[in-house]
């Protein structure tokens, strides 16, 4: 059960040795999509040097347009495995279909459910039987209650290792890609014992907003962050405009470090 009344203490979710839900705030960083073995290894090395605890990289990309880059699929998972070998960072990647479960169990430390699949209940039920932690992102048109219900679907199969993620919701505002629902952090923390992390990259959709949204999230009580970082954002195959360069990421990490010590 997600409800805090059944579990008053915060749940600590262990992802390949990195703990979410404790006072230390892990940051997941990496490109939206894995584009090549060299790319993912280079980015993994740089984000690790800046203090990231985990690496992200999309293999199966749920793109709005069928004509956009769809991801390197299984090949990307193999490259992620190599980046993990090179750096020791655990890896997270998104699952889009039940048929990918076996592959994900083999190559990934944390299985991401994207915003578009949060209410794919057959997938949630199947993930209930997986023995890997799940990163469950809030759908961009879903309520907090619906997010928790999706977590319940996973839990009802026996998998209680879930990290929730606020990644922005759709509003009338068009200046930003989505509107980060800052309130979701304290609201969720009150309702549930599960860790809550924030994705400032997809929330704002702009690289200049990543730092302020990340800072606000930590101040509001987030248990972690997931940030898109690319070695050449202008030529990224997906989400370049919101991706930080490794140098920008390093600056953000320094600011976050100061803030985390203050809150």
Chain contacts with ligand PEP (rule: CB under 6 A): 32, 58, 62, 114-116, 137, 167, 199, 202
Strand-pair partners of 15: 18
**Dist. CA 28–CA 166, nearest whole Å:** 14
Residue 114 CB, shortest distance to Mn ion, in Å, is 9
Strand-pair partners of 210: none
Asked if 50 and 249 touch (Cβ cutoff 8 Å), the reply is yes
Q: Which two tokens stand for residue 193?
A: 């014992």
Residue 253 CB, shortest distance to Mn ion, in Å, is 19
Residue 137 CB, shortest distance to ligand PEP, in Å, is 4
Residue 232 CB, shortest distance to Mn ion, in Å, is 15
Residue nearest to Mn ion (CB): 32
Residue 161 CB, shortest distance to ligand PEP, in Å, is 19
34 is an interface residue for Mn ion by CB under 5 A:
no
Task: Print the binding letters for residues 186-225 with Mn ion: x by CB under 5 A, - otherwise.
Answer: ----------------------------------------
Which of 15, 25, 32, 163 binds Mn ion (CB under 5 A)? It is 32
239 is an interface residue for Mn ion by CB under 5 A:
yes
35 is an interface residue for Mn ion by CB under 5 A:
no
Task: Name the binder of 167 from ligand PEP, Mn ion, none, CB < 5-8 A by kind.
Answer: ligand PEP
Q: Give whichever of 160 and 166 is closer to ligand PEP, judged by the CB atom.
A: 166
Counting runs of H as helices and runs of E as strands, what totals does the chain give? 9, 10
Asked if 225 and 25 touch (Cβ cutoff 8 Å), the reply is yes
Task: Name the binder of 114 from Mn ion, ligand PEP, none, CB < 5-8 A by kind.
Answer: ligand PEP
Name the pairing type of β-strands 224-228 and 196-198: parallel
**Dist. CA 107–CA 166, nearest whole Å:** 25
Neighbours of 68 (CB within 10 A): 11
Residue 6 CB, shortest distance to ligand PEP, in Å, is 28
229 is an interface residue for Mn ion by CB under 5 A:
no
Nearest residue to 84 via CA among 139, 47, 138: 47
**Dist. CA 249–CA 134, nearest whole Å:** 25
Binding region for Mn ion (CB under 5 A) out of 31-39, 139-147, 163-171, 185-193: 31-39
Q: How far is CA 130 from CA 20, 133, 152, 155, in A?
A: 19, 8, 14, 10
Task: Compute the chain's Rg from CA coordinates.
Answer: 17
Binding site for Mn ion (CB under 5 A): 32, 239
């Amino acid at each position: 059960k997600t409800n805090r009344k059944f579990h008053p203490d915060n749940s600590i979710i262990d992802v390949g040795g990195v703990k979410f839900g404790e006072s230390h705030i892990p940051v997941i960083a990496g490109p939206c999509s894995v584009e090549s073995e060299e790319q993912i290894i280079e980015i993994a090395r740089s984000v690790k040097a800046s203090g990231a605890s985990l690496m992200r990289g999309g293999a199966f990309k749920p793109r709005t347009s069928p004509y956009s880059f769809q991801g390197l699929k299984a090949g990307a998972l193999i490259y992620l495995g190599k980046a993990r070998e090179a750096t020791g960072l655990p890896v997270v990647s998104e699952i889009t279909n039940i048929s990918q479960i076996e592959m994900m169990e083999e190559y990934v430390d944390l299985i991401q459910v994207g915003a578009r699949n949060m209410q794919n209940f057959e997938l949630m039920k199947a993930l209930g039987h997986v023995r890997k932690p799940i990163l469950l992102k809030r759908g961009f048109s879903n309520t907090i209650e619906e997010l928790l219900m999706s977590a319940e679907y996973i839990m009802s199969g026996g998998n209680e290792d879930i990290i929730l993620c606020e990644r922005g919701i759709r509003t009338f505002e068009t200046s930003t890609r989505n509107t980060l629902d800052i309130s979701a952090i304290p609201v969720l923390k009150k309702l549930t014992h599960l860790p809550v992390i924030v994705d400032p990259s997809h929330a704002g959709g702009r690289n200049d907003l990543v730092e302020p949204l990340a800072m606000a999230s930590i101040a509001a009580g987030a248990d972690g962050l997931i940030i898109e970082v690319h070695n050449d954002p202008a030529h990224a195959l997906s989400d370049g405009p919101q991706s930080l360069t490794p140098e920008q990421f390093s600056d953000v990490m320094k600011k976050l470090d100061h803030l985390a010590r203050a809150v």
